[in-house]
Amino acid sequence: MLPEERRARVLDVISTKGFVSLTQLVSDTGVSESTVRRDLDALERAGAIKRTHGGAYYVGEGGPLPAFEERAGTAVNEKRAIAKVAAALVGEGEAILLDGGTTTYEVARALAGRSLQVVTNSLPVANLFAASGKADLVLLGGYIHSRTGVALGPLTIQMLAGVHVRRTIMSVGGITEDGFFNNNLLLVETERRLMQAADEVVVVADHTKFGRRALAHLGGLGTADRLVVDDGLEEPWRQRIRDAGVELLVAPVEGKD
């Protein structure tokens, strides 16, 4: 069996079962444990699975969500660098709230497998943590936006009334001097409540979001406690964020020329 075929087989087994032990993968593929480990390393680098003690679990996307998948393919290295820094802020056992952005999804990937209390309005994020089996998971209900798999609107806001977390981690559609923006009026109303439910609000955004406006204004720059960006953000914007009283965390991006 060629390496590509074997890795496809390994990925198929993991995606079907959610979690598979190393012993089971060795049995299923008929190759050595060291070969399976190398295959898992390759699949983890590709972002399809995550290694854990004794096996691996699936962190790839579920069913087709056109808008989510379109955005997920942009600035991938930047988003993963941001996610690494944002995930490091979260302590073991912490209660966190994650929204449905693609950068937030990368944060969820970085956190999967840890013991956490996770509240989310995102079907892709919920599927990821459900597969890992380590987190206490609360999925917020409401109207599901079919292009992104995000719950939003009055029912979601009602559920949030009884929720309090240590940290909300969320992404945005655009950032200007006037603050944060997103592309959906109902989503913005929901996200404001996500922010109110937390002791601390962390916004994650790659440098391409700066200087861009979207349909609905979410709030001023000062509505975030921390902003995690990639190192492609220019210095004038960095100073503007600091001047707004927001702690700026800059993530180095690997593999740049």
DSSP annotation string for the chain: --HHHHHHHHHHHHHHHSEEEHHHHHHHHTS-HHHHHHHHHHHHHTTSEEEETTEEEE-S--S--HHHHHHHTSSHHHHHHHHHHHHHTPPTT-EEEE-S-HHHHHHHHHHTTS--EEEESBHHHHHHHHHH--SEEEE--SEEETTTTEEESHHHHHHHTT--EEEEEEE-SEEETTEEEES-HHHHHHHHHHHHTEEEEEEE--GGGBT---SEEEE-GGG-SEEEEETTS-HHHHHHHHHTTPEEEEEPPTT--
Give the integer Cα–Cα distance in Å for 129 and 107. Answer: 12
DSSP letters of 178-196? TEEEES-HHHHHHHHHHHH
Give the integer Cα–Cα distance in Å for 59 and 142. Answer: 24
Beta 198-204 vs 143-145: how paired, if at all?
Answer: unpaired
Q: Are residues 52 and 70 in the same domain?
A: no
Task: Please write the tens of the pLDDT for every residue from 152-169.
Answer: 989 999 999 999 999 999
Q: How many domains does the chain have?
A: 2
Decide if 257 is inside a domain. no
pLDDT of 75 strictly over 80: no
Residue that is last in its domain, among 42, 58, 74: 58
Q: Are residues 196 and 89 in the same domain?
A: yes
Beta 19-21 vs 55-58: how paired, if at all?
Answer: antiparallel
Residue that is last in its domain, among 35, 58, 81: 58
Q: Are residues 28 and 115 in the same domain?
A: no
CATH code at position 134: 3.40.50.1360
Q: Are residues 76 and 10 in the same domain?
A: no
Q: Are residues 75 and 118 in the same domain?
A: yes
Q: Are residues 78 and 45 in the same domain?
A: no
**Would you tell me how many other CB atoms lie within 10 Å of the CB of residue 225?**
17
Q: Are residues 88 and 48 in the same domain?
A: no
One-letter amino acid identity for 104? T
Q: What is the mean pLDDT of the chain?
A: 87
Q: Are residues 24 and 100 in the same domain?
A: no
Range of the domain at 24: 3-58
Q: Are residues 39 and 84 in the same domain?
A: no
pLDDT of 95 strictly over 60: yes
pLDDT at residue number 256: 62
pLDDT of 174 strictly over 90: yes
pLDDT at residue number 51: 82
pLDDT at residue number 45: 79
Judging by beta carbons within 10 Å of its beta carbon (0-12, 13-18, 19+), is residue 201 exposed, middle or buried?
buried
pLDDT of 81 strictly over 50: yes
Q: Are residues 108 and 162 in the same domain?
A: yes
Please tell me which of 146-150, 180-184, 195-199, 214-218 the model is most confident about, judged by mean pLDDT: 195-199
Decide if 256 is inside a domain. no
Decide if 147 is inside a domain. yes
Q: Are residues 227 and 111 in the same domain?
A: yes
Q: Are residues 17 and 48 in the same domain?
A: yes
CATH code at position 37: 1.10.10.10
